[in-house]
């Protein structure tokens, strides 16, 4: 994908057009034509992680309180920390799966090698935490 994404922006004064009537037939009552709508392609810059400068963002906010400015910076930087931790987790999961399959192939039993049930519950809670903030 390029540096920009494109969206259609409605220019017509009729609104969404879902409830707008077109030409109606005298016999059947069906709409045969809908009003014309005009659209313009709107170009938006895609924000890439490497393009985002937290310091510049904080400066652009013009927050007069230094404590608040620092707090906002920490909140934003926390996302990078979470992302790094998630990236660290993937190879650990892969290795744990290998260890588990090796253990069960040597000694099939009901023993739990890694607490995957607990991990799944934690991850579901984390996912829900971020979904509800939209």
pLDDT tens digits along 66-113: 999 999 999 999 999 999 999 999 999 999 999 999 999 999 999 999
Do strands 23-24 and 4-10 pair parallel, antiparallel, or not at all (unpaired)? unpaired
Strand partners, 8: 41
d(CA 48, CA 128): 24
> What pLDDT sits at residue 8?
54
What pLDDT score was predicted for residue 4? 52
The per-residue pLDDT for 103 is 96
User: How far is residue 131's CA from residue 53's CA, in Å, rounded to a whole number?
Assistant: 25
Residue spans of the domains in the chain: they are: 1-46, 49-134
27-57 pLDDT tens trace: 555 555 555 556 666 655 555 666 788 999 9
């Amino acid at each position: 994908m390029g540096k920009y994404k494109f969206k259609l922006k409605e220019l017509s004064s009729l609104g969404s057009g879902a409830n707008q009537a077109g030409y109606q037939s005298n016999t059947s009552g069906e709409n045969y034509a809908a009003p014309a709508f005009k659209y313009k392609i709107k170009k938006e810059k895609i924000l890439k992680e490497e393009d985002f400068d937290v310091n510049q963002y904080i400066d652009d906010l013009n927050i007069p309180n230094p404590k608040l400015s620092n707090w906002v910076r920490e909140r934003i930087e926390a996302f990078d920390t979470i992302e790094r931790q998630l990236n660290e987790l993937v190879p650990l999961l892969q290795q744990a799966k290998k260890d588990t399959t090796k253990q069960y192939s040597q000694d099939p039993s009901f023993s739990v090698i890694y607490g995957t049930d607990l991990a799944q519950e934690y991850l579901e809670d984390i996912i829900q935490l971020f979904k509800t903030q939209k």
